[in-house]
């Protein structure tokens, strides 16, 4: 039976045209408040304290290449990371002309993650409102989510978690509304959100699969009529939720295959995740030991990480399971399915050794815990038209019990904030975060020393200054940006570099002198990542010897996390032969 599409039945009394004035959602205020707060925090953490993870900075460098490199073209974004991680940065990069720190310190990435995390906060609030949570608990829960240390950090550090959470939350919200109201339009929006989520992170495939199964099951169970009609209804609903993500997957694989010849670059690229894994095993970080010890300790560690972020997660899961079984918490199903799928996927990938056991991969426990609490709060009134009453219980809880339970649940949520803050400083549980946030943790432990900014990329900055001082023209310095991207970021003359995204890179690297290149830069291969530098791979031993194509001109010692760099002057073949 057709749903009421375009049939506002105006029988009897009204005129033919009826369009309600658009009411602006007052809750948008929440978005603006969160955005403003996160922005201030971003200014503090990135501009003042230089706390920007390498991945974010690297993506800003990629975005810069699209416009400001020697060979500007959009395909420079590459296919290792999904497009939405870099494309939104491209329009921001031109700001470097008026304000260089936008790219040098990676602030452009912060702007993007601030916006998306504020959006995620707004979505959390909207979902809680759809659950029927009353104003006070709703605002409190939203605030607890927004102020969670992990959420705070990933709002300002330019990583793509914020984007993923935002789109997944849209999907959760729309799917939840579809469950309640059966409007196909909700399903359309959920499907589109999942498709766009895939463009930001490939992990979105897991929640998409979960959503497809959920929709298939529920649509089949709810449909009426002959078997053929029921199958058709279930099938078309499943297609609606699944088609956008399938199209996104196919489109991205096709584009990747056509442009770089590999459909799944992230998994196979020399620079993709797989190699990072091998590399990590050589790094003397406690986390690297994880894989080698077997799956049980690894799993335990994974759960420790999840509980660091949400200490009461297991309790919540248990209670939610019980309430779902008693048909009192239908709202909990969708968040569990969507974010649970992400977490299971991450867990599986981690146990297979495909990804690091980074704390950030488990960030999905935060929205899931928040929404579970929201779904379990007593005394809710669901908002959209309800196809079936949610609360089947005939005996609503008493007022005192209701307030007590709500206070307990929200209290638990609040308590998780300090617990996770402490957990994030633990080197075993949070190897990357404890490192990246060291200015904060150092200040907490030794307030007397004051807030000290992170010193990063000191060597690379020195290299950039030195090369700039040579006043070279376009295309004179050969440099692989795999570990060398900060050099390009700090340089005032990015076009002087010949980099892998330039379309003549292979020509230049095989015969630098013939291509007009005068210098090249090589990182010291003692750092395992630097060993993957294209110059180090193409010319083994080039850092020590120059490999017959260059003479060392200057060496820049490694400072802090940076490795050493060496600048070589290209020698033409004639000179090399006559010199030896």
Partner 1 sequence: MTRLELSIHGLESRAPELSARRILSGAQRRLFLLALILLAILVVVALPVAAIALVAFGTALYVATFLGWLQLTMMALKRPGIVSISDREAYAIADDDLPIYTVLVPAYKEPEVIHRTIAALEALVYPTDRLDIKLLLEEDDLETIEAVRAVGPPPHMQLVIVPTAEPRTKPKACNYGLTTARGDIVTIYDAEDRPEPLQLRRAVAAFRLVDESVACLQARLSYFNAHQNLLTRWFTVEYASWFMMLLPALASGGGPVPLGGTSMHIRRAVFDAIGAWDPYNVTEDADFGVRLYRSGWRTSVLDSTTYEEANSDVVNWIKQRSHWHKGYLMTWLVHMRQPARLWRELGPAGFFRFNVLIGGTPLIVLLNPIFWWITILWFTLHPAFVQAIFPPWIFYPGLTCMVAGNFLVYFAGVVTTRMTGHPRLVGAALLAPFYWLMMSVAAVKAVVQLINSPAKWEKTVHGLDLAVQKVGL
25 near partner 1, judged by CB under 8 A: no
Binders of partner 1 in range 365-404 (CB under 8 A): none
Among 53, 119, 137, 244, binds partner 1 (CB under 8 A): 244
- The structure tokens listed for 149 are 């240390």
d(CA 347, CA 341): 10
Site string for partner 1, 142-181 (x = CB under 8 A): ----------------------------------------
Q: How far apart are CB 497 and partner 1 at their closest, in Å?
A: 22
CB of 243 to partner 1, least distance (A): 6
Q: Which of 130, 161, 203, 237 binds partner 1 (CB under 8 A)?
A: 237
Select from 64, 72, 112 the least CA-distant residue to 90.
64
Residue nearer to partner 1 on the CB measure, 196 or 316: 196
Among 243, 288, 324, 458, binds partner 1 (CB under 8 A): 243
Closest approach of partner 1 to the CB of residue 122, in Å: 21
Residue 237 or 518 with smaller CB distance to partner 1: 237
Cα separation, 296 vs 496, in Å, equals 51
- CA nearest to 387, candidates 239, 242, 170, 223: 223
Q: What would the two tokens of residue 458 be?
A: 């000191």
Count of residues of this chain found to bind partner 1 when the rule CB under 8 A is applied: 36
In order, the DSSP letters of 404-448 are HHHHHHHHHHHHHHHHHHHHTT-TTT-HHHHHHTHHHHHHHH-GG
Given candidates 74, 217, 452, 553, which one binds partner 1 under the rule CB under 8 A?
A: 74
Least separation in angstroms between residue 14's CB and partner 1 is 8
User: Whole-angstrom Cα distance, residue 202 to residue 150?
Assistant: 21
Q: Which stretch binds partner 1 (CB under 8 A): 93-101, 155-163, 241-249, 534-542?
A: 241-249
Residue closer to partner 1 (CB basis): 192 or 567: 192
Pick the closest to residue 504 from 70, 210, 167, 45 (CA basis). Answer: 70
Distance of closest approach, residue 82 Cβ to partner 1, in angstroms: 16
Please return the burial class of 8, using the count of CB atoms within 10 Å of its CB with bins 0-12, 13-18 and 19+. exposed
Residue 194: CB atoms within 10 A of its CB come to: 31
User: Considering only CA atoms, which of 107, 51, 105, 58 is closest in space to residue 86?
Assistant: 58
Smallest gap from Cβ 211 to partner 1, in A, equals 16
Residue 224 interacting with partner 1 (CB under 8 A) = no
C-beta contacts of 380-385 below 8 A and 24+ residues apart = 380/131, 380/132, 380/133, 380/134, 381/132, 382/130, 382/131, 382/132, 382/180, 382/331, 383/129, 383/130, 383/132, 384/130, 384/177, 384/180, 384/181, 385/180, 385/181
DSSP annotation string for 519-572 = EEEEE-TTSTTGGGSHHHHHSTTHHHHGGGTEEEEEEE---TT---EEEEEE--
By CB under 8 A, residue 23 contacts partner 1: no
* Shortest distance in whole angstroms from residue 194 CB to partner 1: 13
Of 175 and 549, the one with the shorter C-beta distance to partner 1 is 175
Residues 6 or more apart whose CB falls under 8 angstroms from that of 405 comprise 377, 378, 397
Q: Does 16 bind partner 1 (CB under 8 A)?
A: yes
Closest approach of partner 1 to the CB of residue 269, in Å: 20
Closest CB 81 distance from partner 1, rounded Å: 20
| Per CB under 8 A, 1 contacts partner 1 | yes
Q: How far apart are CA 194 and CA 457, in angstroms?
A: 37
Task: Select from 97, 217, 229, 553 the one that contacts partner 1 (CB under 8 A).
Answer: 229
Query: Cβ neighbours of residue 450 under 8 Å, at least 6 residues apart?
Result: 443
Q: Which one of 29, 99, 236, 557 is in contact with partner 1 (CB under 8 A)?
A: 236
- Of 27, 47, 55, 184, the residue at the interface with partner 1 (CB under 8 A) is 184
- 195/367 with CB nearer partner 1: 195
Q: How large is the C-alpha radius of gyration of the chain?
A: 27
Cβ proximity to partner 1, 163 vs 196, nearer residue:
196
Q: In the stretch 248-267, what mask flags binding to partner 1 with x, by CB under 8 A?
A: ---x------x---------
Among 4, 24, 469, 574, binds partner 1 (CB under 8 A): 4
Residues listed for the chain: 580
Name which position in 29, 44, 75, 235 contacts partner 1 (CB under 8 A).
Answer: 235
Binding site for partner 1 (CB under 8 A): 1-12, 14-19, 74, 184-185, 188, 228-229, 232-233, 235-237, 239-240, 243-244, 247, 251, 258
């Amino acid at each position: 039976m057709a749903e009421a599409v375009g049939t506002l039945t105006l029988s009897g009394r009204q005129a033919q045209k009826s369009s309600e004035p658009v009411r602006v959602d007052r809750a948008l205020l929440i978005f603006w408040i969160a955005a403003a707060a996160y922005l201030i925090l971003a200014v503090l953490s990135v501009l003042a304290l230089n706390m920007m993870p390498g991945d974010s900075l690297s993506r800003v460098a990629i975005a810069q290449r699209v416009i400001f490199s020697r060979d500007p073209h959009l395909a420079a974004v590459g296919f290792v990371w999904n497009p939405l991680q870099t494309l939104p940065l491209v329009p921001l990069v031109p700001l470097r002309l008026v304000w260089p720190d936008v790219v040098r310190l990676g602030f452009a990435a912060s702007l993007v993650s601030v916006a998306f995390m504020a959006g995620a906060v707004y979505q959390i609030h909207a979902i809680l409102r759809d659950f029927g949570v009353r104003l006070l608990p709703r605002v409190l829960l939203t605030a607890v989510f927004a102020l969670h240390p992990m959420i705070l950090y990933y709002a300002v550090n330019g990583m793509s978690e914020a984007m993923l959470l935002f789109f997944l939350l849209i999907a959760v919200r729309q799917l939840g509304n579809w469950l309640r109201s059966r409007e196909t339009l909700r399903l359309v929006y959920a499907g589109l959100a999942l498709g766009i989520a895939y463009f930001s992170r490939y992990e979105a495939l897991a929640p998409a699969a979960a959503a497809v199964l959920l929709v298939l099951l529920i649509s089949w169970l709810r449909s009426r009529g002959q078997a053929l009609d029921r199958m058709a209804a279930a099938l078309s609903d499943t297609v609606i939720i699944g088609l956008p993500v399938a199209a996104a997957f196919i489109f991205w694989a096709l584009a990747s295959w056509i442009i770089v010849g590999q459909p799944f670059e992230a998994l196979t690229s020399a620079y993709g995740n797989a190699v990072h894994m091998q590399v990590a095993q050589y790094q003397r970080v406690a986390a690297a030991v994880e894989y080698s010890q077997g799956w049980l300790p690894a799993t335990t560690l994974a759960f420790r990480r999840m509980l660091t972020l949400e200490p009461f997660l297991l309790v919540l899961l248990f209670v939610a399971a019980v309430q779902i079984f008693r048909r009192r918490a239908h709202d909990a199903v969708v968040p569990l399915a969507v974010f649970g799928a992400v977490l299971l996927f991450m867990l599986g990938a981690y146990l297979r050794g495909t990804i690091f056991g980074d704390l950030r991969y488990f960030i999905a426990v935060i929205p899931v815990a928040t929404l579970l609490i929201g779904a379990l709060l007593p005394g809710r009134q669901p908002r959209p038209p309800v196809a079936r009453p949610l609360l089947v219980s005939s005996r609503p809880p008493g007022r005192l019990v209701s307030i007590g339970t709500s206070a307990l649940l929200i209290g638990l949520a609040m308590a998780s904030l300090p617990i996770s803050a402490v957990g994030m400083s633990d080197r075993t549980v949070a190897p990357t975060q404890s490192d990246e946030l060291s200015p904060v943790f150092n200040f907490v432990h030794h307030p007397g020393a004051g807030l000290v900014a992170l010193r990063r990329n000191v060597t690379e900055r020195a290299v950039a200054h030195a090369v700039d001082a040579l006043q070279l023209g376009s295309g004179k310095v050969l440099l692989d940006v795999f570990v060398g991207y900060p050099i390009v970021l700090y340089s005032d003359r990015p076009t002087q570099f010949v980099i892998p995204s330039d379309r003549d890179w292979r020509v230049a690297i095989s015969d630098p002198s013939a291509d007009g290149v005068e210098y090249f830069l090589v990182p010291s291969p003692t750092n395992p990542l630097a060993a993957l530098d294209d110059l180090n791979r193409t010319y083994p031993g080039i850092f020590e010897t120059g490999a017959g194509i260059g003479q060392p001109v200057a060496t820049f010692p490694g400072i802090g996390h940076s490795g050493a760099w060496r600048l070589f002057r290209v020698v033409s073949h004639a000179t090399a032969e006559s010199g030896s």
